[in-house]
């Protein structure tokens, strides 16, 4: 049975990384450490096995195992939503049912991708997948899987059980429109970390993304600033975050995020190939040096991982 209602899934929500060891095996011990670290930092929930979790580099069995370990370690402290998307309905349904058995609070999925499926096929995918469990479904709108148009979003929202959307598209005015035309109860999660302020000020219920693994404190402060109507402060925090994000995007972002978590005491391990990693001490040192320079050039204070370098 789920512990939480989807309306409790809010705030700053990491799209959880999946730690692998030096030999690319899923590292359960490191996963547990990272879960505790993030809950300790005050995140509002965890979104597992999505793009940031390197889901499409894992077998279905591995994905199911990651979800089991996360739910077990969380032990009801915060809501957990499992991304179960795959190209084929049958695969996604299997993953959704395993996630439900593991005890997640909701499931989520990108639309089927790679082949240009018709809007009806995408609609049927979400209908079948949502029917396969009793859990709420959060549709995941992301350019990587082909963006859903507004009419299609409205149509998907009419499927019983579809209760929200993770909206990683730059057209944030649609967040307002979704709330207006689908309903205020329909949960919207803003997915572009670079635009968290805009998503939140347009009424998103939370933010789900990669960098909330690495600098949750910046976004927790940003979210309270928006809630308090302090847009000046929110903008300053978004600027700091964006300097960090754009710097990271020069590398494999997930590899940077994992190193920055490790420096803060939560060993997040390595990425799977073909992503690359900072393996040698020389590589790690040069990354640290570049971060120190950014911190100085931009005069950044109060960011936990920069403060421990
Ligand atoms: O929404 C993430 N998007 C992708 C999830 O993985 C494509 C974001 O968190 C980005 O990683 C982030 C940096 O571009 O906004």
In the chain, DSSP assigns E strands to 11-14, 46-48, 80-83, 106-109, 137-141, 162-167, 187-190, 206-209
Tokens linked to 26: 């899923």
Q: Under DSSP, is residue 45 helix (H, G, I), strand (E, B) or coil?
A: coil
| pLDDT for res 114 | 96
Q: Alpha-carbon distance 42 to 18, whole Å? A: 19
Instruction: Measure 193 CA to ligand 1 centroid, in angstroms.
Output: 6
Residue 227 Cα to ligand 1 middle (Å): 23
pTM recorded for the entire structure: 0.98
Check 140, 212, 251, 270 and give the catalytic one. Answer: 140
- Please indicate whether residue 166 is annotated as part of the active site: yes
Whether the upstream peptide bond of residue 274 has omega within 30° of 0, thus cis, is: yes
d(CA 291, CA 262): 15
| Cβ < 6 A, ligand 1 pocket | 15, 51-52, 142, 144, 168, 191-194, 209-210, 245, 253
Q: Where are the domains of the chain?
A: 6-307
Euclidean distance between CA atoms 107 and 96, whole angstroms: 7
Ligand 1 centre to CA of 35 (Å) is 19
Helix, strand, coil shares, percent, the chain, to 5:
50, 10, 35
Q: What is the pLDDT of residue 216?
A: 98
- Alpha-carbon span 231 to 12, nearest angstrom: 18
The closest alpha carbon to 212, from 261, 278, 171, 249, belongs to 261
Nearest to 264 by CA among 306, 300, 298: 306
Q: What angle do CA 254, 259, 265 make, to 5 degrees?
A: 130
Report strand pairing: 46-48 vs 80-83: parallel
Q: What is the pLDDT of residue 1?
A: 74
Q: Which residues pair with 166 in a beta bridge?
A: 140, 189
Q: Which residues pair with 141 in a beta bridge?
A: 167
pLDDT along the chain (309 residues), means of 10: 93 98 98 98 98 98 98 98 98 98 98 97 98 98 94 98 97 97 98 97 98 98 98 98 98 98 98 97 97 97 96
Q: What superfamily in CATH does domain 6-307 come from?
A: Aldolase class I (3.20.20.70)
């Amino acid at each position: 049975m789920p512990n939480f209602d989807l309306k409790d899934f809010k705030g700053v929500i990491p799209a959880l990384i999946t730690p692998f060891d030096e030999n690319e095996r899923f590292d359960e011990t490191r996963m547990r450490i990272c879960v505790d670290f993030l809950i300790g930092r005050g995140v509002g929930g965890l979104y597992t096995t999505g793009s940031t979790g390197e889901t499409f580099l894992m077998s279905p069995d591995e994905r199911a195992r990651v979800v089991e370990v996360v739910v077990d370690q969380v032990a009801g402290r915060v809501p957990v939503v499992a991304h179960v998307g795959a190209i084929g309905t049958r695969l996604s349904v299997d993953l959704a049912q395993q996630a439900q058995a593991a005890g997640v609070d909701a499931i989520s999925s990108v639309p089927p991708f790679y082949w240009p499926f018709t809007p009806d096929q995408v609609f049927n995918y979400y209908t079948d997948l949502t029917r396969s469990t009793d859990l709420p479904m959060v549709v995941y709108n992301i350019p990587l899987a082909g963006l859903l148009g507004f009419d299609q979003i409205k149509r998907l929202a009419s499927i019983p059980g579809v209760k929200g959307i993770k909206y990683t598209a730059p057209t944030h005015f649609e967040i307002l429109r979704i709330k207006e035309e689908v309903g205020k109860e329909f949960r919207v999660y803003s997915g572009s970390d670079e635009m968290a302020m805009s998503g939140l000020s347009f009424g998103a219920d939370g933010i789900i993304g990669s960098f909330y693994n690495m600098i949750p404190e910046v976004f927790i402060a940003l979210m309270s600033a928006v809630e308090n109507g302090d847009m000046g402060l929110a903008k300053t925090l978004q600027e700091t975050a964006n300097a960090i994000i754009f710097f990271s995007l020069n590398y494999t972002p997930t590899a940077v995020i994992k190193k920055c978590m490790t420096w803060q005491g939560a060993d997040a391990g390595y990425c799977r190939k073909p992503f690359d990693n900072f393996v040698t001490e020389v590589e790690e040192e040069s990354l640290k040096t570049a971060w120190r320079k950014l911190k100085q050039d931009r005069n950044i204070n109060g960011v936990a991982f920069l403060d421990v370098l």
